[in-house]
Structure 1
């Protein structure tokens, strides 16, 4: 697929900062923050950390650390501080005043990345709604910035400022209401399409997992394996959140068995709740799947934390009690044996044909385990039924008798139910 994202945007130097709280792997979340910063055309020149039992109410960091930000900012000429958490409007305002830097919290960063990646109308609306919900409680701080820039201050402007804030609030709330209606309409249309797919009886398989774990590469590998055209492939690139839209492809194997395979938006730790809620519809494919394949970057030292992040996010959007295969991708980069499969754990490389062939076998054994092997005798005047069997089932043997066509078939339930009266 051709890459559609420009690489010509200038990279901005930033500091990243976080506090070491109990029961949190700071190395993991800070390395992730550095990757998120890079995905937003920024470069982390300093990784600054502080040990605190809990964030301070006023600044998030301690006062001394805020002064350190100011000193380092002046020394290095870096003007933006990216914080590894969602900050309150008061914390952002106070920290900017104390550090002399523009402050972006983790939620604001992820929202900015999603906004730059959104391609479809649905994804753009979902991100816009999440951004507006994030902005609502921060209007006063935004107004304060405008007042400072325009030179307006003091009690004389308070009434006008509050009126402007209330006006902005109404505008945002109205816009959120309109977006919700548009998304509800889209959800209704997608639900209709999903019901039609369900009626077809074709099993559904969803690729889920951490962003940049190789879900799109796996889907494209399977599409190439069955000889699908290049234009059916999905966008893939080695970066966080390369795709935000769920892509669904019909995959028919050589034995006529078919699945609907979906490639879903990737996850990340501390995914903003606004986005989790907004993308619930997009992730409905996972909620309706017959089988989940959780794609994991086995070469990443934080692979176990990524699994935990994925499962917490799936639970948050109501995806539970669906069979799951743990697919440990990028084994070629980790220098471990592949492809191997044991219980529900599959180790592979999405760029290796032998791996993809084994993945196909694993999928088939899981989603077609309820298929029935049966022998049927179809009368010659029921030719349309033979056509249906040819299209939807695997024909193992064919013989012709005086009264019709005798077929030994491997049939999904929807076909098995339609040919019950012809079983011999």
Structure 2
């Protein structure tokens, strides 16, 4: 065995040589239309993309699933997927992501398909972006930029738009290109060498620094605006906390059916689409348990594997709803081929949020949704994988009564027991007991309403003057 070959084996680890040299096509990703009458319209409207992934760990099935998800993201952004390619490597190439030799093969695929964009299934460094665009001669973007683009398309509220713009600028700042073909580096004296000199020294460095200053100024402005909008959200949340209204946050993978579940439980009328990241703006609605206790239910932004850290930071005020909740409803798409990967991806992001806030994870209720779209074999597998999970269909309404009962049991209960006689003139206190507390017994007397109930400390203080028979209030 030659020394060169021995070094090759050492550097590749457990990877087979054939795996490393293969650029494997992933079947079933093309979204080209079979109806020729629509092709011209699609070509005018959509970008034509080739997807590229690097398989560094896990099984071939997991690598294919990752690229299939990237395909769905690309379609959500409005692209037409022409081809999907995966290279097996021990790690992405630091210069060109897929390795220098494979870039030439991708270039041939781009030429053959007529693609105008290449999307890589990972976050590319500024150097990798420059190298790939220079060699492929088409636009190159990564998974992070793609997700940011989808968020930009779907943001509706002022806060949502500001959060997305902040995330985009944070992503863009380190990727400004100051030494591109259109700009030359500013230099003095002999720094330009033989190719520089008088008349050939351009404003590249000055232009780059100007752009950076403008972006940093805009980032600071957006952070101030988001902080002001967060203060309004905190005020509303503080009001709920003061009244000790229990809060439930709905979290889960994108397109798992969180908004549908919120609508089914509360009748909120939130927009529901069969699309990734259809919901970006948190929606909070009041509802009641079967035994009459009021609580809030909040629909949050969906998660995805490798959710860009810029988005987690920008959507901090929205995601804090999850960390501050009394109960977490974790929604899983029961019709997905790999729901356990969804669960792991969501829990990874949730743990990051909880660690950042220095809090503990709220109690979790795992809810498998879309059971009407899953077969019995898949559901049996999920019952084995996710013991204790509740199985529902927000679309059909099955399992929702069991979910409501479970939420009523899991929600924190008022901890102060009172026995009071409230005059009829103070009917608003009786209404508060029904709204915020748990009525154990109620009787109408000539003097007023006799109540035996469990309430929070704040309401117990307001009722203290009406305590009857020396009972604690």
TM-score normalised according to structure 2 size: 0.79
State whether structure 2 residue 349 is matched by structure 1 residue 313: yes
Q: Which runs of 5+ in 2 are unaligned?
A: 1-40, 185-194
From 106, 119, 122, give the equivalent of 2:159: 122
Q: 1:65: how far off?
A: 1.1
8 Å CA contact 2:244–2:436 kept in 1: the answer is no
Q: Which moved more, 1:304-313 or 1:400-409?
A: 400-409
Distance in 2 of aligned mates of 1:352 and 1:413:
40
Distance in 1 of aligned mates of 2:461 and 2:292:
18
Equivalent residue, structure 2, for 1:258: 294
Distance in 2 of aligned mates of 1:158 and 1:348:
67
Distance in 2 of aligned mates of 1:310 and 1:355:
23
From 290, 307, 320, give the equivalent of 1:271: 307
Q: 1:377: how far off?
A: 3.3
Equivalent residue, structure 2, for 1:214: 257
Q: 1:31: how far off?
A: 1.6
Equivalent residue, structure 2, for 1:151: none
Paired residues for 1:313-392 under 5 Å: 313-318=349-354, 320-336=360-376, 344-370=388-414, 375-380=419-424, 382-392=426-436
Q: 1:352: how far off?
A: 2.9
C-alpha distance 66-111 of structure 1, shift in aligned 2 (>3 A): same
Q: After superposition, what is the alpha-carbon deviation per residue over 1:202-247, rounded to whole angstroms, capped at 9, x for unaligned?
A: 11000001100000000011123xxxxxxx4211100000011111
Paired residues for 1:233-248 under 5 Å: 233-248=269-284
Equivalent residue, structure 1, for 2:34: none
Matched pairs, number: 404
Q: 1:10: how far off?
A: 2.2
Distance in 2 of aligned mates of 1:199 and 1:72:
61
Distance in 2 of aligned mates of 1:322 and 1:360:
18
8 Å CA contact 2:167–2:311 kept in 1: the answer is yes
Distance in 1 of aligned mates of 2:177 and 2:404:
54
8 Å CA contact 1:324–1:344 kept in 2: the answer is no
C-alpha distance 380-49 of structure 1, shift in aligned 2 (>3 A): closer
Equivalent residue, structure 2, for 1:73: 110
Paired residues for 1:7-406 under 5 Å: 10-23=45-58, 25-140=62-177, 144=180, 146-147=182-183, 155=196, 158-224=201-267, 232-253=268-289, 255-318=291-354, 320-336=360-376, 344-370=388-414, 375-380=419-424, 382-395=426-439, 397-401=441-445, 403-406=447-450
Distance in 1 of aligned mates of 2:57 and 2:361:
31
Distance in 1 of aligned mates of 2:352 and 2:435:
38
Q: After superposition, what is the alpha-carbon deviation per residue over 1:25-50, rounded to whole angstroms, capped at 9, x for unaligned?
A: 32232121111101111122211010
Distance in 2 of aligned mates of 1:71 and 1:251:
57
Larger Rg: 2
8 Å CA contact 1:66–1:95 kept in 2: the answer is yes
C-alpha distance 34-59 of structure 1, shift in aligned 2 (>3 A): same
Residue 283 of structure 1 aligns to a residue whose secondary structure is: helix
8 Å CA contact 2:47–2:116 kept in 1: the answer is no
8 Å CA contact 1:377–1:406 kept in 2: the answer is yes
TM-score normalised according to structure 1 size: 0.87
8 Å CA contact 1:81–1:101 kept in 2: the answer is yes
8 Å CA contact 1:376–1:407 kept in 2: the answer is yes
Q: 1:195: how far off?
A: 0.6
Tell which has more relative contact order, 1 or 2 (C-alpha 8 A, sep 6+): 1
- Over the aligned positions, Cα root-mean-square deviation in angstroms equals 2.7
Q: Which moved more, 1:346-355 or 1:104-113?
A: 346-355
Distance in 2 of aligned mates of 1:146 and 1:193:
50
Equivalent residue, structure 2, for 1:4: none
Q: After superposition, what is the alpha-carbon deviation per residue over 1:364-386, rounded to whole angstroms, capped at 9, x for unaligned?
A: 11114456676543345644433
Q: Which moved more, 1:395-404 or 1:316-325?
A: 395-404
Q: Which runs of 5+ in 1 are unaligned?
A: 1-6, 149-153, 225-231
